[in-house]
Amino acid sequence: MAPASPPPFDPRGFTRPAPVLLRDYTLVSLAALAAFPIAWLVSFFRYETLKYSFGEDGVSMSWGILFRREIHLTYRRIQDIHVTRV
């Protein structure tokens, strides 16, 4: 006797996510909550050290305390700018 084949897949039969997803979300949230002070400090120091400079040939940006990063983007390389006003 052959094993019974599974019923055909019908995506319309799903109306709620699997309970495993809620467990995964909970675990990720707990991990982020434990690391919140560190993640916040990293973001805060990046915000505090972030500096922009608009020159004749382009835009420069720098940030960082321990590991200083600098980027220079020439105006020629900018292709599109999106502006949102609130």
Query: 18-64 pLDDT, tens per residue?
Result: 788 788 888 778 777 778 788 888 889 889 989 888 888 988 888 88
pLDDT at 82 over 80: yes
Contact in structure between 63 and 46 (CB atoms under 8 Å): yes
62: left (phi over 0), alpha (psi -120 to 50) or beta: beta
> If we measure between CA atoms, which residue out of 66, 69, 71, 62 comes closest to residue 41?
66
Instruction: List the Cα angle 60/65/66 in 5-degree steps.
Output: 120
- In this prediction, residue 70 carries a pLDDT of 95
Higher pLDDT, 46 or 10: 46
Token pair of 26 as six digits: 């909970």
pLDDT at 10 over 80: no
pLDDT at 69 over 90: yes
- In this prediction, residue 72 carries a pLDDT of 94
pLDDT at 13 over 80: no
> If we measure between CA atoms, which residue out of 67, 66, 73 comes closest to residue 52?
73
Question: What letter represents residue 86's amino acid?
Answer: V
